[in-house]
Amino acid sequence: MLKSKTELDEITLSIFKSAVAVHQEMGPGLLEAIYQHCLIEEMTARGLQVEKSVIVPLHYKTKPLNKDYVIDILVEDEIILELKSVEGLLKVHEAQLISYLKLANKRLGFLINFNVPLLKQGFKRFVNNL
């Protein structure tokens, strides 16, 4: 069952607080995999249902391809988190998350770059208008 806007807002706040806690504890400059592990721990401790490295089969015109794509983190089966630890976010990172939202048929996603002085500078929200 799809979550209401209020429920999504509550989950979003918990995701943001979790990411800030990880960033404050670990700081910038580590590998993406480390942030992924820490963020999963933090969100799980806050009671969120979290899946990591979710494999989604890829299709072309209804034909399955021998290629999958991997979502970094899926929260509450609703929200895609694409994690980065890069000098700066590029348009290609945004395009990647937008594509994932469409292909996975999800409504909301966040692109989170941990390699920033303040996490709010690396936290971007994307909506898929289904």
Q: What is the per-residue DSSP string for 69-105?
A: EEEEEEETTTEEEEEE-SSS--HHHHHHHHHHHHHHT
pLDDT score, position 27: 96
Per the structure, how many domains does the chain have? 1
What predicted TM-score, i.e. pTM, was given to this entire model? 0.93
Q: With a cut of 70, which residues of the chain have pLDDT below it?
A: 130
Tokens of 113: 């770059």
* Strand bridging mode 79-84 / 63-75: antiparallel
What residues pair up with 70 in beta bridges, in sequence order?
55
pLDDT score, position 14: 98
pLDDT score, position 1: 75
pLDDT score, position 50: 98
Domain holding 72, by residue range, is 5-127
Q: Which CATH number characterizes residue 30's domain?
A: 3.40.1350
Cα Rg of the chain, angstroms? 14
